[in-house]
């Protein structure tokens, strides 16, 4: 079919590190501890691990095996991988999610990645030296305000974003070998940096207590994170949060795993590879992720501060200040390690996001890896610039919600139903076990057919009709009122409209109306991207018919 | 730290670390499948 040289993984360890790197992201260090704190402390680990075994591992096996199956037929992206499994035409258009999500997520994800690059620079340059905590927090605000420069470079947020995108594109242009090399460098460094910072977090104790924060104690932070509140286990909200965390941490429902696995030979194992990569992600999340931010923040600022401020923003708004307490030399090392760790977590994921587009364009239009990579970079730039320039107007959040959250759940649910119910468990089970280096317990046949789709349905319905204040028990007892975070309310921008109606200050009303306006622009861009990729799939399909590769 | 938090943390971390190391060790010790032709050329790819 193709005269282009076929890509393949150089080694099995390289493949596992690339897959683990795809899964390990910023959320491992920033989202997991916050979710645990908000959902039952230590008891959160019980639903979390249950969901990992019943939903995470099965989804990994489904995606690895469908990817390898597609690769056997010369497909390296989900539109035609799904087409291999069932000939009904709509599957290939559903498979568009596996390219669309990656471009849309890469567009804003590279922006966060560029923050980590910029913060490595600022850590080395000593920007945070003798800054107060409030000044470090304010610095982040200045950085994302693109009209303001913290380095003297005009529009530095855009410059760092473009640099980050260029680096991603350059590595992608080296093909799978480039991705594998980046994973082989990035993942070990990420783990070494993580172990160093986790060691510091574990040994900080009460040494960070000051007159301002006399009760600061790192162990109290760990206590806060790990003390089990077993009564929380009866709350559906906690289970939904655990399922959601497993779902997002493993990068399932994106189409990247299928793409990576499509370069695995059909005789080679996927059963062991999938669990090995999955557990590597769990190690980074549960062990390293819980030993850095929470104990270090509690060690200097106390648990009371943590209770009020635990969140994603701590990475950039608090950590540089805390590292400054370690003295001039160690603060630079810790800053480089922390933001370097986040950078490696980010880039190993964003590189994965480029490969489905490249695979699709190569399979269907014979584009080589250079053309594929640079076109990915260009589309990502076009999609991503509004998230940088209009970050404060909510374009970033809009992308994150629709592409980075809703699309993943929809696609994972659809592919699980396709695999277990349409492709069928007989063929599916054979695919998973083919060439396996471990024997998968046969109970997983039942789990993949029944439990995983039901859990995904639970996550989807839970997001679609989230009850007011996420109070499930209250909603069941007193009637269902939708929360503004539910998909249905988000679709109508109900929250923003309520805020506009309640506001009296004309300046606030203007800001909110602007947000509403930009949210519609963001949605239009996402719909246009999806439609554009769908059109390419249609053209590719017609081309296949013309070339006699598909018999009608 | 209180004992229940400490126990849960240590047990969870040891379990996750051990399983991760075990699977990775399995990957490293499993010999690659012997093929008559090269690894780069997928002999099983249907074209």
> CA gyration radius for chain B?
20
Instruction: Provide φ and ψ at A394, rounded to 5°.
Output: 95, 10
Chosen from B11, B16, B26 to mutate, greatest number of chain A CBs within 10 A:
B16
**Of residues A83, A9, A26, the one with CA closest to residue A363:** A83
The CATH number given to whatever domain includes residue A279 is 1.20.1740
Residue of chain B minimizing CA distance to A72: B45
Spatial distance between the Cα atoms of A373 and A381, rounded to a whole number of angstroms: 12
Given a cut of 60, whether residue B43 has pLDDT beyond it is no
Q: DSSP letter at A42?
A: G
Tell if the CB–CB gap between A74 and B45 is shorter than 8 Å: yes
Query: Which domain, by its residues, includes A74?
Result: 12-89+102-392+423-439
Alpha helices in A366-493 (DSSP H): 369-389, 395-401, 407-417, 425-433, 443-446, 452-464, 472-478, 487-491
| A152 is a domain residue | yes
Tell if the CB–CB gap between B1 and A272 is shorter than 8 Å: no
Spatial distance between the Cα atoms of A399 and A102, rounded to a whole number of angstroms: 11
Query: 3-class SS at A552?
Result: coil
Please, are residues B5 and A40 in contact by the beta-carbon 8 Å criterion? no
Tell if the CB–CB gap between B5 and A42 is shorter than 8 Å: yes
Is pLDDT larger for residue A17 or for residue B43?
A17
What would the pLDDT profile of A384-423 be if each residue is shown by its tens digit?
A: 999 999 999 999 999 999 999 999 999 999 999 999 999 9
Instruction: Check residue A154 and give its pLDDT.
Output: 78
Could you tell me which residues are beta bridge partners of residue A389?
A: none
Contacts of A201 in chain B (CB under 8 A): none
| A522 is a domain residue | no
Of A49, A219, A275, the CB nearest to B1: A219
Please, are residues A69 and A81 in contact by the beta-carbon 8 Å criterion? yes
Task: Show the tokens assigned to A129.
Answer: 């030296």
Task: Show the tokens assigned to A160.
Answer: 């760092």
Spatial distance between the Cα atoms of A122 and A408, rounded to a whole number of angstroms: 34
Tell if the CB–CB gap between A267 and B17 is shorter than 8 Å: no
**Of residues A191, A242, A198, the one with CA closest to residue A221:** A198
Tell if the CB–CB gap between B1 and A226 is shorter than 8 Å: yes
Tell if the CB–CB gap between B44 and A437 is shorter than 8 Å: no
Spatial distance between the Cα atoms of A220 and A298, rounded to a whole number of angstroms: 7
Instruction: Check residue A261 and give its pLDDT.
Output: 97
What would the pLDDT profile of A333-345 be if each residue is shown by its tens digit?
A: 999 999 999 999 9
Please, are residues A228 and A41 in contact by the beta-carbon 8 Å criterion? yes
Spatial distance between the Cα atoms of A438 and A436, rounded to a whole number of angstroms: 5
| A359 is a domain residue | yes
Residues of B engaging A, defined by a Cβ cutoff of 8 Å: 1-2, 4-6, 8-9, 12-13, 16-17, 19-20, 23-24, 26-28, 30, 32-33, 35, 39-47
Instruction: Provide φ and ψ at A321, rounded to 5°.
Output: -65, -40
Place of tokens 């499948």: B33
Tell if the CB–CB gap between A223 and B1 is shorter than 8 Å: yes
> CA gyration radius for chain A?
23
Instruction: Check residue A359 and give its pLDDT.
Output: 97
Q: How many CB pairs under 8 A join A and B?
A: 98
Cα angle A419, A63, B25 (rounded to 5 degrees) comes to: 130
Q: DSSP letter at A209?
A: -
Instruction: Check residue B35 and give its pLDDT.
Output: 65
Which residues have C-beta within 8 Å of that of residue B8, sequence separation ≥ 6?
A42, A45, A226, A228
Spatial distance between the Cα atoms of A98 and A77, rounded to a whole number of angstroms: 7
Tell if the CB–CB gap between A282 and B20 is shorter than 8 Å: yes
Q: Looking at the complex, report in whole angstroms how far the Cα of residue B14 sits from the nearest Cα belonging to chain A.
A: 9
Residue of chain B minimizing CA distance to A437: B30
Which residues have C-beta within 8 Å of that of residue A29, sequence separation ≥ 6?
A194, A285, A288, A289, A292, A293, A315, A341, A342, A345
Could you tell me which residues are beta bridge partners of residue A41?
A: A228
**Of residues A184, A18, A172, the one with CA closest to residue A110:** A172
| A35 is a domain residue | yes
DSSP assignment string, A351-384: HHHHHHHHHHHHHHH---HHHHHHHHHHHHHHHH
Contacts of A13 in chain B (CB under 8 A): 27-28
| A541 is a domain residue | no
Please, are residues A258 and A99 in contact by the beta-carbon 8 Å criterion? no
Residue of chain B minimizing CA distance to A276: B23
Spatial distance between the Cα atoms of A344 and A99, rounded to a whole number of angstroms: 22
Spatial distance between the Cα atoms of A48 and A143, rounded to a whole number of angstroms: 35
Contacts of A280 in chain B (CB under 8 A): 20, 24
Contacts of B46 in chain A (CB under 8 A): 72-74
* Other Cβ atoms within 10 Å of B31 Cβ, number: 6
Instruction: Check residue A229 and give its pLDDT.
Output: 87
Angle at which helices A78-85 and A97-125 pack, to 10 degrees?
Answer: 140
Please, are residues A256 and A99 in contact by the beta-carbon 8 Å criterion? no
Could you tell me which residues are beta bridge partners of residue A403?
A: none
Given a cut of 60, whether residue B36 has pLDDT beyond it is no
**Of residues A288, A301, A371, A383, the one with CA closest to residue A337:** A288
- Structural domain total, chain A: 1
Contacts of B16 in chain A (CB under 8 A): 279, 282-283, 286-287
Spatial distance between the Cα atoms of A248 and A250, rounded to a whole number of angstroms: 6
Q: Exposed, middle or buried, A533 (CB in 10 Å: 0-12/13-18/19+)? A: buried
Task: Show the tokens assigned to A131.
Answer: 């800054």
Tell if the CB–CB gap between A6 and B9 is shorter than 8 Å: no
Give me the half-sphere count of Cα atoms (radius 13 Å) on the Cβ side of residue B6: 6
Task: Show the tokens assigned to A33.
Answer: 């501890």
Query: 3-class SS at A86?
Result: coil
| A518 is a domain residue | no
ipTM, interface predicted TM-score of the complex = 0.92
pTM for this prediction: 0.94
Residues of A engaging B, defined by a Cβ cutoff of 8 Å: 1, 6, 8, 12-13, 16, 41-42, 45, 49, 71-74, 219-220, 222-223, 225-228, 265-269, 272-273, 275-276, 279-280, 282-283, 286-287, 290, 435, 437-438
Contacts of A435 in chain B (CB under 8 A): 33
| A477 is a domain residue | no
Tell if the CB–CB gap between B27 and A1 is shorter than 8 Å: no
Instruction: Check residue A160 and give its pLDDT.
Output: 95
Residues of chain A with pLDDT under 70: 1-6, 551-552
Residue of chain B minimizing CA distance to A73: B46
| A385 is a domain residue | yes
Residue of chain A minimizing CA distance to B13: A287
Spatial distance between the Cα atoms of A21 and A57, rounded to a whole number of angstroms: 16
Please, are residues B27 and A273 in contact by the beta-carbon 8 Å criterion? yes
């Amino acid at each position: 079919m193709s005269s282009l040289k076929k890509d393949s993984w150089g080694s099995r360890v390289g493949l596992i590190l690339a897959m683990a790197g795809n899964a390990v992201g910023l959320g491992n260090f920033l989202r997991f501890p916050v979710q645990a704190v908000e959902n039952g402390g230590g008891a959160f680990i019980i639903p979390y691990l249950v969901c990992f075994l019943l939903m995470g591992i099965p989804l990994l096996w489904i995606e690895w095996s469908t990817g390898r199956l597609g690769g056997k037929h010369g497909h390296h992206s989900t539109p035609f991988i799904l087409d291999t499994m069932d000939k009904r035409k709509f599957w290939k258009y559903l498979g568009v999610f596996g390219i669309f999500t990656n471009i849309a997520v890469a567009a804003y994800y590279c922006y966060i990645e560029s923050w980590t690059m910029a913060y490595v620079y600022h850590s080395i340059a000593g920007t945070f030296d003798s800054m107060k905590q409030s000044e470090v927090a304010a610095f982040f605000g200045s950085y994302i305000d693109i009209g303001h420069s913290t380095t003297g470079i005009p529009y530095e947020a855009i410059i760092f974003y473009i640099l980050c995108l260029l680096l991603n594109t350059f590595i992608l242009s080296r093909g799978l070998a480039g991705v594998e090399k980046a994973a082989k460098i990035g993942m070990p460094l990420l783990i070494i940096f993580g172990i160093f910072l986790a060691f510091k977090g574990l040994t900080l104790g009460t040494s960070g207590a000051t007159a301002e924060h006399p009760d600061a104690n790192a162990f109290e932070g760990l206590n806060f994170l790990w003390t089990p509140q077993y009564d929380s286990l009866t709350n559906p909200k906690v289970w939904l949060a655990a399922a959601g965390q497993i779902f997002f941490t493993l990068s399932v429902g994106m189409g990247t795993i299928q793409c990576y696995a499509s370069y695995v030979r059909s005789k080679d194992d996927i059963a062991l590879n999938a669990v090995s990569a999955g557990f590597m992600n769990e190690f980074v999340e549960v062990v390293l992720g819980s030993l850095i931010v929470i104990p270090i923040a509690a060690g200097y600022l106390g648990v009371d501060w943590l209770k009020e401020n635990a969140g994603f923003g701590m990475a950039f708004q608090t950590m540089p200040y805390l590292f400054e307490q370690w003295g001039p030399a160690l603060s630079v090392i810790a800053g480089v390690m922390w933001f370097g760790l986040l950078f490696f977590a980010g880039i190993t994921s964003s590189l994965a996001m480029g490969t489905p587009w490249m695979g699709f364009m190569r399979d269907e239009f014979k584009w080589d890896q250079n053309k594929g990579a640079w076109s990915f970079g260009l589309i990502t730039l076009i999609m991503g610039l509004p998230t940088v320039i209009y970050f404060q107007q909510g374009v970033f959040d809009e992308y994150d919600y629709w592409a980075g959250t809703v699309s993943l759940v929809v696609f994972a649910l659809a592919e699980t139903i396709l695999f277990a119910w349409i492709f069928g468990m007989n063929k599916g089970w054979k695919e998973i076990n083919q060439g396996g280096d471990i024997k998968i317990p046969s109970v997983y046949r039942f789990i993949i057919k029944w439990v995983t789709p039901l859990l995904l349905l639970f996550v989807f319905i839970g997001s679609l009709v989230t009850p007011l204040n996420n109070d499930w028990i209250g909603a069941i007892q007193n009637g269902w009122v939708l929360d503004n975070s539910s998909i249905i309310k988000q679709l109508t921008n109900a929250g923003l409209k309520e805020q506009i109606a309640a506001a009296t200050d004309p300046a606030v009303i203007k800001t909110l109306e602007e947000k509403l306006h930009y949210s519609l622009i963001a949605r239009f861009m996402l719909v246009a991207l999806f439609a554009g990729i769908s059109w390419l799939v249609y053209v590719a399909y017609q081309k296949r018919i013309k070339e006699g590769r598909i018999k009608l | 730290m209180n004992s229940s938090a400490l126990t849960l943390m240590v047990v969870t971390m040891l379990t996750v670390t051990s399983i991760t190391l075990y699977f990775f060790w399995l990957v490293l010790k499993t010999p690659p499948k012997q093929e008559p032709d090269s690894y780069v050329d997928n002999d099983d790819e249907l074209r």
